[in-house]
Amino acid sequence: MQQHKRTLYILYLLVAIILIGIGGYYLLLDISLMDAFYMTVITISTVGFQEVVPLTVPAQLFTIILIFFSLGTLGYTGSQLISFFFGGTLQEVWREQKMKDRLADLNDHIIVCGAGETGQHIIQSLERENVEFVVIEFEEDKLEAIKEYDNVIAFQGDATQDEVLEKAGIHRAKGLIAALNSDANNLYTVLTARQLKPDLLIVARAITHNSHEKLIRAGADKTVSPNEIGGHRMASMLLKPSVIAFLDTITHSGKIDLNLNEVVIQPSSAISNKTLMQANIPEQTDLIIIAIKEKEDDGIVFNPTKDHLLKPGQTLIALGDNDDLKKLKKLAGA
């Protein structure tokens, strides 16, 4: 964008030189504006065509000065234009406009604030789940690394500012992840996002141990500490290796393609108001129902019995491959 502005400034200078040339010849030679424009063009382009009238001494001095000023300006303008069209600037402008068009079309998407190491893992997970999202990153080098991903919408900005979150379509978004490099930035981002959209689902990164409660008070629905999770996982790898191997499997880190996902039961679905045995989900989908979350509260029933009644609004947490999960979504009317 700096090169784009620099190119515009040079073009403005070129226009100014042309206007000065027209005014100078018009006053010094007492000719028409068209003739003055013609004299200016043949002078700054140094093509050597014949003057429209003989030059007076003042006009000759004016011509010499105009040539000196215009030669440097034209040379630099030419190099800037070549750089603009062939050096990537035009491509950047086109990419920026394309990004704005895609942003305008987003709805029920996720806003990822921060593209550091944590942010990149978030982006990879969202891409794997085919979820629409947009990335906000302040540092240019991190932003350039993100733009190498295919079809990722990302732009430079300060996620703590209202106008930046509005540019990311926060009023149409369903969730926001604050994964910036400091608790203060994450805190301001959560406060700003909660003020702009009170019903937004917000997950925030907690860097220090005592920041969880502050982020929750600021408006975050959930907080995550990568350091704490990493420490627990490293200890569990030694103490519970088989459990970690299973978790790797259901989080796409292992060799078996399984997925742990959730499906909400709709009122008009084929399994609504039936027991688990009547719904016959394992036989129809080859899925394992791990748990059921009730609609009214946050209570979760683990390993539900065959007599558990399935009601609209409940969330089924199931384990299986993606094709079978699609079958369950169809059964649940999702």
**Does the pLDDT value for residue 333 go beyond 60?**
yes
Q: pLDDT value at position 88?
A: 54
DSSP 296: S
User: What is the rounded distance in angstroms from the CA atom of residue 166 to the CA atom of residue 187?
Assistant: 18
Q: What's the domain range around 152?
A: 106-229
**Position 28 in a domain:** yes
Query: Amino acid letter at 259?
Result: N
**Position 82 in a domain:** yes
**Position 99 in a domain:** no
**Position 176 in a domain:** yes
Same structural domain for residues 47 and 110? no
Same structural domain for residues 60 and 128? no
**Position 216 in a domain:** yes
- The tokens for 316 are 């089924």
Same structural domain for residues 114 and 205? yes
User: What is the rounded distance in angstroms from the CA atom of residue 334 to the CA atom of residue 330?
Assistant: 6
Same structural domain for residues 139 and 215? yes
Q: What is the value of pTM for the model shown? A: 0.63
Contact 331, 272 (CB under 8 A): no
Number of structural domains the chain divides into: 3
Residues 6+ apart with CB under 8 A from 73: 10, 13, 14, 17
Same structural domain for residues 111 and 223? yes
User: Residues 183-188: what's their mean pLDDT?
Assistant: 94
Q: In the β-sheet with 288-293, what is the strand arrangement from edge to edge? A: 259-264, 315-320, 288-293, 300-302
Same structural domain for residues 215 and 305? no
- The tokens for 98 are 């394309």
Same structural domain for residues 206 and 123? yes
Return the CATH number at 15: 1.10.287.70
User: What is the rounded distance in angstroms from the CA atom of residue 46 to the CA atom of residue 102?
Assistant: 47
Same structural domain for residues 70 and 21? yes
Our measurement of the distance from residue 275's CA atom to the centroid of its chain's CA atoms, rounded to an integer in Å, reads 43
Q: Which residue has the tokens 């400034």?
A: 9
Q: pLDDT value at position 7?
A: 65
Contact 135, 103 (CB under 8 A): no
Return the CATH number at 164: 3.40.50.720
Q: pLDDT value at position 174?
A: 94
Same structural domain for residues 110 and 214? yes
**Position 35 in a domain:** yes
Could you please report the per-residue DSSP string of 96-144?
A: HHHHHHHHHH--S-EEEE--SHHHHHHHHHHHHTT--EEEEESSHHHHH
Same structural domain for residues 126 and 194? yes
User: Residues 146-156: what's their mean pLDDT?
Assistant: 80
Domain C-terminal end among 31, 51, 86: 86
Pairing status of strand 309-310 against strand 274-275:
antiparallel
Residues 77-105 as b or e (16 or more Cβ within 10 Å = b): beebbeebeeeebeeeeeeeeebeeebee
Tens of pLDDT along 200-255? 999 999 998 889 999 999 999 999 998 888 888 889 889 888 877 777 766 655 45
User: What is the rounded distance in angstroms from the CA atom of residue 4 to the CA atom of residue 83?
Assistant: 10
Same structural domain for residues 221 and 285? no
Same structural domain for residues 112 and 210? yes
Q: pLDDT value at position 71?
A: 76
Confidence of residue 62 (pLDDT cuts 50, 70, 90): confident
**Position 250 in a domain:** no
User: What is the rounded distance in angstroms from the CA atom of residue 114 to the CA atom of residue 177?
Assistant: 8
**Position 187 in a domain:** yes
